[in-house]
Homo-oligomer: A and B are copies of this chain.
Amino acid sequence: MQALGKHILVEFYGCNPEKLKDTKMLQTEFENAADMSGATVVDSTFHTFSPYGVSGVVVIAESHLTIHTWPEYGYAAVDLFTCGDTVDPWKAFSYLKSVLESNNTSTIEMKRGQLNDFEGQLRHKPACA
């Protein structure tokens, strides 16, 4: 069965808490991770929470990367959702694991948009208007 998207749900445990607080660094590194996986960055928005913790999103032409951090637990929830054959979200995963210095990860890969009755090649959005 064909699917439009590939979505990796990542739990990064045992991270360096300082990395999970650094909003500016996380934004830069998430954009780097998108580049590295072959994705095209369209936009990104990262926010710092009180007393600490970061939420961030990179919108890519091929869907999105997101992160939510809990420095107090050394934990980050990361989603790597990509479409098309030219992007490899696992490259972003490996890079971000290293960036966050996570020593314990859990991942689930889901197929998104499974079309039972469609024949031919599935398209993803190729370019931002």
Contacts and interface: CB of A to CB of B under 8 A. Distances in A.
Copies of the protein in its oligomer? 2
Interface string A47-76: 111100101010101011010101011010
B113 A73 contact: yes
B11 A49 contact: no
B115 A75 contact: yes
Interface in A98-123: 108, 110, 112-115, 118, 122-123
A45 interface: yes
Contacts of A77: 4-5, 7, 63, 81, 112-113
A1 interface: no
| Interface residues on chain A, size class | 35 or more
A70 B4 contact: yes
A61 to B, nearest CB: 7
Nearest to A9: B110
Contacts of A110: 9, 108
Given A55-B125, A64-B68, A70-B123, 9 more contacts: A11-B114, A43-B47, A45-B59, A47-B128, A53-B125, A57-B57, A57-B64, A73-B115, A79-B81
Top 10 nearest A-B pairs (CB, nearest first) are A49-B125, A50-B129, A53-B125, A48-B129, A77-B112, A57-B57, A50-B127, A43-B45, A63-B68, A75-B113
